[in-house]
Structure 1
Amino acid sequence: MNEQNIIKLISDDNWMMHVLRLVRSLKLPDWCVCAGFVRSKVWDHLHGFDTSTPLSDVDVVYFDADNTKETPEKAYEKVLQQLDASIPWSVKNQARMHTKNGHVPYVSTEDGLANFPEVCTAIGAHLDDNDQMRLIAPYGIDDLVNLVVRPTPFFTAEDKKDVYAQRVDSKRWKQTWNCLSIIRV
């Protein structure tokens, strides 16, 4: 499976395209829909599931260094909720998320994704005005398509290993997708 296969999987899914078009309508700077939105779709496909695994939320990220307050994120969530209340929206500006992780400021959405806990989660889909999709994957797609869960470099640090381990344990991914290989650090 390659990037074009992932783009086709998403493009062929009416619900996913609906989500991407709703987010695009906000005209957010440097945005994508990421994490479980892409990861679960690929894992479901590779496990041969006929129906999509439900998502606990739909992660929308963007980058706006000019407004790093949480208030706009909540306003965007409210707009998206009004557009489709059936979707559990979560909107985060990556220009402020470095503070949560104790990092230096991120410089883009891709930089923010690079600091997600798992490599397979650090992937997003962006839809341009012509319905052309591109993936944002700072570490590539190999772990995702090979069903490997491993920490991003930041989460291999001694003081972050427990965060990664607790997150992997709490997600219980192996119970849903039994072919996963989970790398412990």
Structure 2
Amino acid sequence: MEPQQQITDWLQQDMQRMQALRTARRLGLHDWCLAAGFVRNLVWDKRHGYQVATPLNDIDVIHFDPRHHDAQRDGMLKLRLQEWLVQPWSVKNQARMHLRNNRAPYLNSEDAISFWPEIETAVGARLNADDSITLIAPFGLQALFSDTLTFNAKSNNLAAFEQRVVQKQWLQRWPRLKLA
């Protein structure tokens, strides 16, 4: 099965993730997805044969809206999500995140996640109005299925990558992973 179809099937079979996708969709955000561990952890859990999903530290909602890029709005959106579904949400408008990262402005959400420290983390999922799922993956999906953890040279921050590997204990939690 192709990686895109496999991830879509796994998402559709995961009631918690589908509930999160439906809840985030209610916000009506422009160029949004649930990203980072939301997809990455699911794939790594399935590749390791885990029957119980690894708990998510948070659910990363990213979106791109240059008209409303203040952090306070993201805080309001987070509160709304928490009212609808009690989860540890994180909401970040990628139209302002270039400032925090000292980069040129991002073009859209896909461009923004293409600068994340790991290739495997730069994947997101969006639930469309017709309940189909769109995956956002600027580097494709193959790395997620290769049992690798790959530094994204585009991020230009090897120290952040190394720190995340240690802090998040990915190699211990998913022992088949290898640093690429």
State whether structure 2 residue 169 is matched by structure 1 residue 168: no
AA at the equivalent of 1:163: A
Q: 5 Å matches for 1:116-127?
A: 116-127=116-127
Structure 1 distance, partners of 2:19, 2:41, is: 17
Residue in structure 2 matched with residue 12 of structure 1 by the alignment: 13
Secondary structure at the aligned position of 2:120 is classed as helix
The count of residues paired between Structure 1 and Structure 2 equals 179
Give the share of equivalent positions with the same residue, in percent: 39
Aligned to 2:88: 88
* Offset at residue 123 of structure 1 (A): 0.1
Counterpart CA distance in 1 for 2:17 and 2:161 is 28
**CA apart distance, 1:127:** 0.7
> Following superposition of structure 1 onto structure 2, how do residues 34-49 of structure 1 map, counting pairs within 5 Å?
34-49=35-50
Q: Which amino acid aligns with 1:90?
A: S
Distance 1:117 1:139 in 2: 12
User: What are structure 2's unaligned runs of at least 5 residues?
Assistant: none
8 Å CA contact 2:24, 2:81 repeated in 1: yes
| Aligned match of 1:106 | 106
Deviations 1:105-160 (A, max 9, x none): 001000111011100000000111010101000000111111111122223x3xx2
Q: For 1:44-80, what per-residue CA distance to the aligned partner results, in whole angstroms no more than 9, with x for missing partners? A: 0010001000111100000001122101100010000
Map 1:44-59 → 2, pairs under 5 A: 44-59=45-60
What SS does structure 2 have at the residue aligned with 1:23?
helix
Specify the alignment match of 2:145 in structure 1.
Answer: 145
